[in-house]
Amino acid sequence: MQAEAPSRLRRFASGLRVLDLSAFLPGPLASLLLADMGAEVLKIEPPAGDAMMQLGPRTEDGAPLFYEAVNAGKSVRRMDLKNPEVRAEFLDMVADFDVLIEGFRPGVMQRLGLGYNVLRERNPGLIYCALSGYGASGPMAQEAGHDANYLANAGVLHRNGQDMPVYYDPPLADLSGSLFGVIAILGALRARDADGLGCEIDIGLADAPMPLQLFQVAEHGATGAVPQPRSTYLNGGAAYYQIYATRDGRYIAVGAIEPKFWRAFCFAAERPDWVDRQSEAMPQTGLIADVAAYIVAITLDDCLARFVGTDCCTSAVLDLGEAIASPHHRHRGFVRVAPNGALQALFPARIDGLPPASRAVLREVETSPQHEEAGLT
């Protein structure tokens, strides 16, 4: 395999040192993205390891796929932070890091004697980012939850789905919370350049979906309207923004929101009589049924022949394998086989024309009395 060209992406956070005390997905994804930008990430795990190691499929040699995917390119060290001596060592380590990410339930770090106020005394410039379910304050702060709970609590699940609400895959709140965490960390580092001071960032995963639905929030504030299932083009109410089944059991996605795209779709289907029906009230049950009857009478290949290339925002619904193998994704280069054989979904940005290089494998660091001896470089 040819050596990959270095990407300027790895210089974006070069020199940044990150301690990641989180587990599962949101926190580790945040530190993974920082590592993709060149940060040095040391993942601190309890003696038994990250519980993510017990979830998901395994490779032929028994390695946990999901755990390794979200922690590639990092170093990992196991420390019992309940042990006073180990905790004292950790406090000494904090002085040498720029960012700390944790995903505990609020109050856990304080009970360990490692709350932000304590860590700030050791390192005034530390950026401390806590990612928890419902945030560090409020009536739900101590409640357990997962992505479905956060979306239900944020008013998102209510309006999505046909006959009943549906879950999302990938987990929308978990992932957007992680991204907001990274954005906040990078902004905090920018502010630290000016005054030398760190800060405490409190991200509640249940809060993350709110800015994603800023249109609906604005409309509710102005009119009191509450979006209902199939009441807008975004949640299944429109014929021009809809999923349709083909004769051979496949599906196409029509996203012809603008009138020019809908007009192109209608003329490609040789149904100009549909053009003016785009303004029908939602849910557009009758028009949806008419388009569905047309599409289900032809195959997916027929659909692609008629609609692709006509500038009408119509696509085949691909499974993951088809998507990865598609000309678009192959060309963009953000899903590639790493030198160790792992298929990786990489940071989705080309910098100066280059896609990111593959991630290195996760590296275990031997626990030792002094972190300088742990080989963090």
Those residues whose C-beta lies under 8 Å from the C-beta of residue 201, and which sit 6 or more positions away, are 127, 128, 129, 130, 181, 184, 185, 188
Classify residue 45 as exposed, middle or buried by CB count within 10 Å of its CB (0-12, 13-18, 19+).
buried
For residue 96, what are the CA distances in angstroms to 82, 91, 100?
21, 10, 11
CB 304 within 8 A of CB 248: no
Provide the H-helix boundaries in 196-247. Answer: 209-212, 214-223
CB-facing half-sphere around the CA of 115: CA atoms within 13 A: 9
Distance between CA 45 and CA 21 in Å, rounded? Answer: 6
DSSP states of 343-372 = EEE--S--BTTBPPPPPPPPEE----SSGG
Residue 126: what residue type?
Answer: L
CA end-to-end distance (rounded Å), the chain: 25
Round to whole Å and give the CA distance between 20 and 205.
17
d(CA 91, CA 97): 11
> Strand, helix or coil at 203?
strand
Residues taking part in catalysis: 146, 174
Q: How many Å is the maximal CA-CA distance in the chain?
A: 77
Ramachandran bin of 322, using left for φ above 0, alpha for ψ from -120 to 50, beta for the remaining angles: alpha
* AA identity, residue 34: L
